Structure 1
């Protein structure tokens, strides 16, 4: 049962719900409505004795318990939190171009900051490597920006794609908060200063993150998946056909530990135990959930779980709400009876076919012909009837069912992981004799190595010509080639009883020389390692080079690693993008000046038209109206040009930020952070030569 409910009588935008104590003591709900408006609901607000004392100069206009804040732009993010020494929360509103930090109680701006990369998600907290005071963290177009309480930038870095979720959280339990971010490129990263402490790839854009008890945190991705990680290890995950809109930590069953509460686009709200994923609470709303918050809305001294739907319905649930959800009578008995019947049927089948349950399943994994191939073979006298394969991000829907038209002794499954990351493949194989009613199910798990989509090949005659150019990356490490060979053996799929070996005799003694062919695109790559610790990867693919550098540095335990790189094609694209960015910025300045002149002319014509109307001068009024129509048409055309120019500007900034990310991933530690800082300076100054120099030398 809900502890309270109310109706805002407005349609609420999905994912744009926050809660804050803007006067320091009373909880308020804040939602974004259509048209760029913000609605604040304060059930405990006391009206002023004299309505004339209510300030009218701010952005906020109160009407009873509701106040409306007109932004005038599409709101992309909403957050409420404490900033600075003030005990009152402030409201943070992000748009595609600006961030507004607003003091609701004083009805005044704290600061208004232009964000060229946009503000698609915002959070507030203390970062362990920066300061002991709260900062504002903004996720933008391939970037993360950190501002202090006055709006001054104190940190900036690039990411692989648009950042859509942020969380400040002690990820590793060392007492200092890290920055956890989720992006459109399916990645969750934990940033500790300038370095990436941990990262993992999911199967869709990571749309939500929330801190739970201890070192656990929940996450949600765009394909309807929700789950929990603890110190880098996934505890569980579940997937639904509905979209996850919001997640929050809240103790719904009163056991002293927060559960992971999930709001779905279907209107369902459920709570799961973080350690196991078991559902302990479930409720259905009449419309899609758009946000979940924690707020002491009833002033009981304990926060309630507040759920907001798309129609403006607000429901609050108190601590221990799950205890009131009684299970239906007979559910447990029906479940036990179903298990009993299944066990009886299995025992009968085992008694009738004693030999069919002593078989084994042979598994072989190889690569070739553009894919990783997993062969599954049944034992003597048995046939494979069906195989169910589950692998994250490999198949559409993540699951493949391979059912041959006739049962056969062996089947082969093709796997094509789209990214260079380890993939756990879970397989269930149904085997049995022809015509069997009950089949034996084998379950197995295999992990595909990080570079499984690269095939080791003997050096063909033409490989030297293909790799004669100087494209690639060179690093120096204090390690023998034998350790690099071991790393390669762990990250490639090699034939049985085959190892990557270092040459012991001949002119190449003491060196490692391995040729690889990409199964996705057929491109050739060559890795060379000398006894002096120099490692060179010849490749035209800077993304692959970055993955190799990061994987090798992690394996060797390197916290700092510089590199020399040369990727002419990437340099050309970066140079063109930077030149295009300079032109787009100049165009934007000209358009703004033209819009200002047009607006001034429009105001002047409006005054003159009104004067002509008052004086009854129909001829002059007609002339002014024609001029108004012409000026208005020019303004509309300029606006369309400006909108197209802005889209090109955002696209170009994304290209440049992605290029900076590739440059950074070729290095580790301070070398990576310095490369990012130098790239940003070169982009700000429009210096193409400096940008190319950083790409090459760091």
Structure 2
């Protein structure tokens, strides 16, 4: 179906996920990869030397490389620039001129990089993902963009998430969330069940994603279209219209050497090929400069294979035949189901002749709901069937709830009502899918009924007794709204899956409702003051308060919301983090000064030692090199101190960025993005008093 365009073998192995293609000379494309030894090589097929061999340029970075990317960030150059990210620095390198465009220290670290135009910005930026932050640099290396995320950035991509002009930035992080940024503002958050390892645009508002647990799939905006899971790990994903039908497919490379092409509509496998080594990267470009874009699959042992797009007429024929095959398969499946149903009815009639219990009716209805137990603040799932039928067993499937994702619960008592506990491990929206096996008591025939129930982020909270006021959380967030108690209670019912609408007295001036988390038993109190139109969310967890605010604003369609808050315990811890950052920076400067002094002493000792050797003064040679040996040991010890200090500094900076992220989630709209910008300015100016005021009040 798919024609192989070319195959070649590189002289060096390729590090996983670290390959890019760029037009570095302005006319032809070059494949750039990172070797396992930390070197960067640039392979240009069109450039040949006298012997006719492909020329390969090597770049020695002499640092651990965390990511690479290529793209145009300086329109005056009219060619691509190579971005090389290391744990602490970003290098923008002009391959053609063999010079640095800029070199920047990045205290937040560099874990992912990308080149492109974000939202309303007029020029391309070099976007860098790090510890809870995303930074953007222009062609001069000046910071032109900065925002915060919830954890270390593990993947980034541009996509037209909203189907509006301009593209949004998709950011995946190690806290299992995909955040969609429109300029500095987060417009959507999607929580997955494991770390995000890959993101790519597919078609229109669709984008692909990959997780570290072996899952790949496609979202259409915030709605999941499909997903599949493998016991192997996806190394990379991309999209390309390989079958020529006008719609890109999702391409994926795996740790077992498998290259897959899947339909963007259903996830059906259209093509696959196995390589002898894990796939490093899957790229798309006109690599051979013949006017035809190709899919380029690169393995970690250096094998490179290209695939051509199928002819459009062939692609249409394949698509038509595929639809016909799907229709035929559906009809055959329906015929099999009907035959099995007829057979079951025949068996049931045979049993009825001997007065044995029969089978449950095909149209038997069941009801499924979550019951919240106030005694121990736990949740359980309740399944009810018609009184004439018994529940034999249930097969439950859900992500992030059960250890094996699929769990089988038998019910030996065979009653019309069944219960089983639901133990949530995080505040994560999910869908519990079930197959309930029904039948008459003592019958050997079952009827499987499908059912599902949706759990929201706040479903894990159980209503608490009215005397929770004595244990009121000391921390809170407070904001003013233009809504009624009725709408507020409607949101509470929808978010917490309660039934307060029919029991609430709407004539009261104040509505108050307490909850306790079934996960960690943390209290949460919601208060609505009807006279002042003020809502107070009381909890000691700032992250939880932010989730409640965002859910409330989303449900009621609020686009702008300002708030004030007071979280004394978290702010006290944050003050300690800021003091740690200041201390670690002071230690870093001291160590750097000591290293500079020792470096000068080393140079002096080497010169003296060589002079003594030339003069054949062996005692002076031994003395100089003895001092040099001890000085080198001191340098190694200082390097270890510097490494430990840097790790502690990065961890503290991550906590600082995380606090800004939590504080921004207490606001909505312009107030949210303005807070992030103002906090960044306060940190740069080392104005901690203003930073604290911004976090609490939103303005300085």
TM-score if structure 1 supplies the norm length? 0.91
Q: Distance in 2 between matches of 1:252 and 1:572?
A: 56
CA pair 468-420 structure 1, distance change in 2 beyond 3 A: closer
**Structure 1 residues 252-279: Cα deviation after superposition (integer angstroms, max 9, x where no partner):** 2121221110111111111111111111
Aligned position for 2:513: 514
Is the 1:578–1:686 contact (alpha carbons within 8 Å) kept by the matching residues of 2?
Answer: no
Aligned position for 1:486: 490
> What does 1:413-562 correspond to in 2, within 5 Å?
413-433=420-440, 439-460=446-467, 463-467=468-472, 469=474, 471-494=475-498, 499=502, 501-504=504-507, 509-531=508-530, 532-562=532-562
Aligned position for 1:35: 37
Among candidates 261, 265, 276, match of residue 251 of structure 2: 261
Aligned position for 2:194: 204
Aligned position for 2:13: 11
> What does 1:131-280 correspond to in 2, within 5 Å?
131=122, 133-280=123-270
Is the 2:87–2:110 contact (alpha carbons within 8 Å) kept by the matching residues of 1?
Answer: yes
Q: Distance in 2 between matches of 1:334 and 1:295?
A: 36
Aligned position for 1:44: 46
CA pair 342-233 structure 1, distance change in 2 beyond 3 A: closer
CA pair 606-325 structure 1, distance change in 2 beyond 3 A: farther
Q: Distance in 1 between matches of 2:615 and 2:338?
A: 97
Give the drift of 1:314. 0.9
CA pair 127-317 structure 1, distance change in 2 beyond 3 A: same
Task: Specify the SS of the correspondent of 1:386.
Answer: strand
Aligned position for 2:372: 367
Q: Distance in 1 between matches of 2:597 and 2:586?
A: 17
Give the drift of 1:386. 3.3
Does residue 310 (structure 1) correspond to residue 314 (structure 2)? The answer is no
Deviates more, 1:331-340 or 1:629-638: 331-340
Deviates more, 1:96-105 or 1:666-675: 666-675
Q: Distance in 2 between matches of 1:336 and 1:489?
A: 43
Is the 1:35–1:73 contact (alpha carbons within 8 Å) kept by the matching residues of 2?
Answer: no
Aligned position for 1:57: none
Q: Distance in 1 between matches of 2:570 and 2:53?
A: 56
Give the drift of 1:336. 9.1
Aligned position for 2:28: 26
Is the 1:252–1:258 contact (alpha carbons within 8 Å) kept by the matching residues of 2?
Answer: yes
CA pair 149-268 structure 1, distance change in 2 beyond 3 A: same
Task: Specify the SS of the correspondent of 1:396.
Answer: coil
Q: Distance in 1 between matches of 2:332 and 2:537?
A: 61
Is the 2:257–2:276 contact (alpha carbons within 8 Å) kept by the matching residues of 1?
Answer: yes
Does residue 356 (structure 1) correspond to residue 359 (structure 2)? The answer is yes
Among candidates 277, 290, 296, match of residue 280 of structure 2: 290
Give the drift of 1:449. 2.9
**Structure 1 residues 36-80: Cα deviation after superposition (integer angstroms, max 9, x where no partner):** 21121111113389xxxxxxxxxxxx9952111111111111111
Q: Distance in 2 between matches of 1:29 and 1:375?
A: 57
CA pair 152-464 structure 1, distance change in 2 beyond 3 A: same
Aligned position for 1:571: 571
**Structure 1 residues 439-498: Cα deviation after superposition (integer angstroms, max 9, x where no partner):** 3211112111331111112312xx3332274x2011001111221111001111326x86
CA pair 68-343 structure 1, distance change in 2 beyond 3 A: farther
**Structure 1 residues 84-103: Cα deviation after superposition (integer angstroms, max 9, x where no partner):** 32331111111111111111
Aligned position for 1:54: none
CA pair 194-281 structure 1, distance change in 2 beyond 3 A: same
- Gap regions ≥5 residues in structure 1: 50-61
Deviates more, 1:616-625 or 1:640-649: 616-625
Is the 2:23–2:29 contact (alpha carbons within 8 Å) kept by the matching residues of 1?
Answer: yes
Q: What's the RMSD between the two structures over aligned residues?
A: 2.7
Does residue 120 (structure 1) correspond to residue 91 (structure 2)? The answer is no
Give the drift of 1:202. 0.9
Give the drift of 1:12. 1.5
Aligned position for 1:92: 83
Does residue 384 (structure 1) correspond to residue 391 (structure 2)? The answer is yes
> What does 1:56-71 correspond to in 2, within 5 Å?
64-71=54-61
Deviates more, 1:650-659 or 1:172-181: 172-181
Is the 1:224–1:239 contact (alpha carbons within 8 Å) kept by the matching residues of 2?
Answer: yes
CA pair 545-499 structure 1, distance change in 2 beyond 3 A: farther
Q: Distance in 1 between matches of 2:648 and 2:556?
A: 42
Task: Specify the SS of the correspondent of 2:509.
Answer: coil
Q: Distance in 2 between matches of 1:27 and 1:696?
A: 51
**Structure 1 residues 529-588: Cα deviation after superposition (integer angstroms, max 9, x where no partner):** 112311111221111111111111112222211111000011101100000000100111
Give the drift of 1:437. 5.8
Q: Distance in 1 between matches of 2:443 and 2:231?
A: 33
Q: Distance in 1 between matches of 2:107 and 2:369?
A: 51
**Structure 1 residues 349-371: Cα deviation after superposition (integer angstroms, max 9, x where no partner):** 23212652413334232122343
Give the drift of 1:435. 7.0
Deviates more, 1:14-23 or 1:569-578: 14-23
Q: Distance in 2 between matches of 1:564 and 1:361?
A: 46
CA pair 433-357 structure 1, distance change in 2 beyond 3 A: closer
Give the drift of 1:382. 4.3
Q: Distance in 1 between matches of 2:544 and 2:269?
A: 41
Q: Distance in 2 between matches of 1:630 and 1:202?
A: 52
TM-score if structure 2 supplies the norm length? 0.91
Task: Specify the SS of the correspondent of 1:690.
Answer: helix
Q: Distance in 2 between matches of 1:412 and 1:468?
A: 33
Give the drift of 1:295. 2.2
Is the 2:149–2:661 contact (alpha carbons within 8 Å) kept by the matching residues of 1?
Answer: yes
Q: Distance in 2 between matches of 1:282 and 1:468?
A: 56
Give the drift of 1:104. 1.2
Aligned position for 1:674: 674
Is the 1:571–1:695 contact (alpha carbons within 8 Å) kept by the matching residues of 2?
Answer: no
Q: Distance in 2 between matches of 1:84 and 1:107?
A: 16
Task: Specify the SS of the correspondent of 2:696.
Answer: helix
Task: Specify the SS of the correspondent of 1:161.
Answer: strand
Q: Distance in 1 between matches of 2:484 and 2:333?
A: 60
Deviates more, 1:566-575 or 1:540-549: 540-549
Give the drift of 1:292. 0.7
**Structure 1 residues 398-438: Cα deviation after superposition (integer angstroms, max 9, x where no partner):** 33332457766544232233343432211122233567665
Q: Distance in 1 between matches of 2:650 and 2:439?
A: 58
CA pair 482-8 structure 1, distance change in 2 beyond 3 A: same
Q: Distance in 2 between matches of 1:164 and 1:629?
A: 42
Deviates more, 1:13-22 or 1:566-575: 13-22
CA pair 561-362 structure 1, distance change in 2 beyond 3 A: closer
Give the drift of 1:341. 6.1
